[in-house]
Amino acid sequence: MASSSPTLLKEQQAFWSQHVHDTQMIFEINSNPHVSWKATRYPMFENMSLYEFKHRMLGAEVDESVLLKSNDDSQKLHVESGMSEMDKRAILRLPQEFDSRKQWPSCVHPIRDQQQCGSCWAFSASEVLSDRYCIATNGSVNVVLSPEFLVECSAQNNGCNGGKLDATWLFLVKIGIPTDQCVPYTSGNGVVGACPKTGCTSNPNEKLVLYKASHARRIVGAENIMIDIAAKGPVQAAMAVYRDFMSYKSGVYHHVSGGLVGGHAIKIVGWGVDSESRKPYWICANSWGPSWGIDGFFWILRGVEECGIGRDVWTGYV
């Protein structure tokens, strides 16, 4: 196999050594009337290189082929294909705007922070299952589930070095996860602890109680995604992150400039249409803390699979 040319290697090194924030890029985004979002600088990203950002703040291993092989382990994972007559009728009833936070205000849990660990896959999946347990039980099971347990215990994933959505949901169906109180998040510094076997890490004398998904599936098509959110709650989605996304402040994000940095996993909680630009968008929860974006959330252009969002969407059922 031919090795990369010295010129290409230098270009790659130059790209990854750049700082997250580009002052000129931010200025051009904010001064362009055709851009439907605003950018800013974030203190938490200052002096962080793109290489550091990719490995600390992202973490989704985005794969073109997300379908598991047909075997005993994957029998409870399904792909939503085609559309039933019931689904077609549901599409006709879909509202122009929907927000899970308003529909189930006590069940959609607060924004969290993955810190310096590529664990977005674990946060978004555990948050979706947490929200859906609360929604499915009308609030009687209102718990925050543990992303740390996924980071430490999901052998098919790679801890702070990333994970796959399908493998994560397979784990949630087969094994399940405890509450965040039982196994709190400690991998924010990039150091992953040992998987607890029987007791909580917060109290080894307290037995692990695992919350499972009854089954999980990949959802194909924007309409099917909307139907599922409106009926059952938030879903998990993978997306491609470009350099400009890190500077997102508000508005309907669409990629404007900057190279591809990596894959990311987030939670879609709803959708809407921007009153100013009239652009349709998904409402998404990030895992970079509440000081980023719109109190930790962001809007991204809907209907065109912007940054690949909508191509790799998974959720679980209680």
Active site residues: 120, 264, 286
Type of residue numbered 181: Q
Token pair 């930790």 is at which residue?
A: 296
Which residues does 102 contact at the CB level (< 8 Å), separation at least 6?
A: none
* Length of the chain in terms of residues written: 318
> What tokens were used for 260?
């591809």
- CA distances to 21, 27, 35, 47 from 42, in Å: 8, 14, 20, 10
**Which amino acid is it at 317?**
Y
Give CA–CA dist 170/174, Å, rounded: 6
Query: What CA–CA distance (Å, rounded) separates 19 from 39?
Result: 15
Residue 81 to residue 224: CA distance in whole angstroms: 9
Structure-token match 């500077």, residue found: 247
